[in-house]
């Protein structure tokens, strides 16, 4: 009898512990047709692809008592065409791998994830920086000189404060340093302030990567009721040539004197050493019942690498909700590129490229 009571007590204790912790599975499935007007010789103009990133997320939380919680997130991104991890050089858990604690002091996480600035600044774009019509909000800037580093840092520490009357502060940094011929690489750092009150949300952030390229952005939205306005103004400044010279001791960071990143980027998406790129994007989201329309215009000018100068892009889109979790979408965009002598498409000065997509997205 005593053993039975002990066993029942043990089971009850396990039940209490289980009630205080949980794991939530969520994700996004997005696929459709993407058309690109100008492609490389022999390539197909129309392909099955995705408008937004496909992912599966595991979120764990445990109540530690006293208002303190343990939290963790693991986010895997994949290619809907083949089912393989997204991008050839990206890690399996490209989206996020972080664990930490949260409480009255805010949230503290350790691992891999979006930086303090990169997390909310997609507010500036009506498409959230996805689909063929999206605005390239940080053109020429590479967050982390490592494979799959777009918007994220590895081996990072992340902090987000509680809200102070609508103001939230956040910071992230990665102390990893890699030996280069010119010395040690820089510590990646990012800070951001986000304020929300009524219809207004506005943010300001600054970030520098390991080559000391910096990205500064002011962004926000304003809800008029009949439409939500989006605005982003940013600037990318390139680090010095010396800060990019040399070969790293690992394959995750190899920077040549030309400023090209061997792993994690190419000459077509990196700001020139000591150069600068000015960025602006403006747009609107117009809801009409189950259907919403999007319009956006972006422009960037400066001394980026070849094929990354004086561009403008206009996008139009429509989204129709089939339910709270599923919607159809279609977008069209025109991009004009000036002062371009690259061999990539479009390849001539003042050339024009056009895009179209039609897809479906389901969230679970």
- Asked whether the predicted pLDDT for residue 265 surpasses 70, the reply is no
**Distance (Å, whole) CA 165 – CA 95:** 30
20 part of a folded domain:
no
214 part of a folded domain:
yes
* pLDDT bucket at 89, cuts 50 / 70 / 90: low
What is the per-residue pLDDT for 260? 30
Angle (nearest 5°) at CA 118 between 166 and 185: 125
16 part of a folded domain:
no
CATH of the domain at 130: 2.40.160.10
Residues 6+ apart with CB under 8 A from 355: 34, 35, 36, 37, 132, 133, 331, 332, 333, 334, 335
DSSP conformational letter for 186: P
Angle (nearest 5°) at CA 332 between 331 and 335: 135
What is the per-residue pLDDT for 148? 58
283 part of a folded domain:
yes
**Distance (Å, whole) CA 96 – CA 328:** 27
**Distance (Å, whole) CA 233 – CA 299:** 10
Of 23-32, 143-152, 178-187, 220-229, the least confident: 178-187
Contact (CB, 8 A) for 260 and 267: yes
Residues 6+ apart with CB under 8 A from 324: none
CB atoms under 10 Å from CB of 231, counted, come to 18
Q: What is the pLDDT of residues 317-357, one digit of tens each?
A: 999 999 999 999 999 999 887 755 444 444 445 678 899 99
Domain residues for 36?
27-363
* pLDDT bucket at 84, cuts 50 / 70 / 90: confident
What is the per-residue pLDDT for 74? 96
Of 11-15, 103-107, 145-149, 358-362, the least confident: 11-15
> Where is pLDDT greater, at 346 or 259?
346
Determine phi and psi for 12, rounding to 5 degrees: -65, -40
Q: What is the pLDDT of residues 180-211, one digit of tens each?
A: 555 556 788 999 999 999 999 999 999 998 77
**To which H or E segment does residue 27 belong?**
strand 21-36
**Distance (Å, whole) CA 45 – CA 63:** 51
* pLDDT bucket at 75, cuts 50 / 70 / 90: very high
Specify the residue for token string 């980026």.
Answer: 304
Q: What is the pLDDT of residues 280-310, one digit of tens each?
A: 999 999 999 999 999 999 998 876 554 455 7
7 part of a folded domain:
no
Comparing C-alpha atoms, which of 110, 93, 25 is closest to residue 59? 25
The total of structural domains in the chain comes to 1
The DSSP code sequence of 223-251 is E-SS-EEEEEEEEEE---SGGG-SB-SST
**Distance (Å, whole) CA 46 – CA 68:** 51
2 part of a folded domain:
no
Contact (CB, 8 A) for 74 and 96: yes
Of 224-228, 233-237, 307-311, 335-339, the least confident: 307-311
Taking residues 47-64, what's their average pLDDT?
92
Give the HSE-up count for residue 195: Cα atoms under 13 Å, Cβ half-sphere: 6
What is the per-residue pLDDT for 184? 57
What is the per-residue pLDDT for 311? 80
170 part of a folded domain:
yes
Contact (CB, 8 A) for 109 and 155: no
Determine phi and psi for 6, rounding to 5 degrees: -65, -40
Taking residues 173-180, what's their average pLDDT?
69
For the chain, the average pLDDT equals: 81
What is the per-residue pLDDT for 83? 80
Quick one: how far is CA 135 from the chain centroid?
12
12 part of a folded domain:
no
């Amino acid at each position: 009898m005593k053993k039975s009571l002990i066993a029942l007590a043990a089971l009850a204790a396990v039940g209490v512990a289980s009630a205080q912790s949980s794991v939530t599975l969520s994700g996004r499935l997005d696929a459709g047709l993407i058309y690109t007007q100008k492609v490389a010789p022999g390539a197909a103009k129309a392909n099955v692809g995705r408008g937004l990133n496909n992912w599966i997320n595991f979120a764990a939380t445990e109540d530690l008592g006293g208002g303190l919680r343990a939290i963790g997130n693991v986010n895997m991104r994949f290619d809907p065409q083949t089912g393989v991890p997204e991008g050839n050089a990206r890690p399996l858990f490209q989206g996020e791998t972080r664990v930490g604690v949260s409480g009255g002091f805010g949230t503290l996480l350790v691992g891999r994830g979006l930086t303090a600035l990169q997390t909310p600044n997609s507010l500036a774009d009506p498409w959230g920086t996805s689909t063929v019509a999206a605005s390239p909000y940080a053109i020429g800037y590479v967050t982390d000189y490592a494979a799959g580093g777009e918007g994220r840092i590895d081996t990072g520490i992340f902090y987000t404060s509680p809200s102070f009357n609508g103001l939230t502060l956040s910071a992230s940094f990665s102390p990893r340093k890699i030996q280069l011929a010119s010395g040690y690489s820089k510590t990646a750092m990012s800070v951001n302030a986000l304020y929300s009150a009524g219809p207004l949300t506005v943010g300001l952030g600054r970030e520098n990567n390991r080559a000391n390229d910096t990205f500064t952005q002011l962004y926000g939205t304003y809800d008029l009721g009949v439409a939500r306005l989006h605005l982003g103004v940013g600037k990318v400044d390139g680090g010095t040539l010396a800060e990019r010279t040399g070969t790293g001791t690992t394959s995750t960071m190899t920077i040549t004197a030309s400023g090209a990143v061997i792993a994690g980027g190419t000459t077509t998406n990196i700001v020139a050493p000591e150069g600068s790129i000015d960025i602006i994007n403006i747009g609107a989201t117009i809801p009409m019942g189950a259907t919403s329309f999007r319009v956006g215009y972006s422009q960037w000018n400066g001394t980026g690498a070849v094929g990354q100068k004086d561009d403008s892009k206009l996008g139009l889109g429509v989204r129709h909700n089939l339910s709270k979790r599923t919607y159809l979408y279609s977008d069209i965009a025109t991009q004009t590129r000036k002062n371009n002598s690259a061999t990539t498409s479009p390849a001539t000065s003042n050339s024009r490229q056009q895009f179209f997509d039609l897809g479906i997205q389901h969230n679970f």
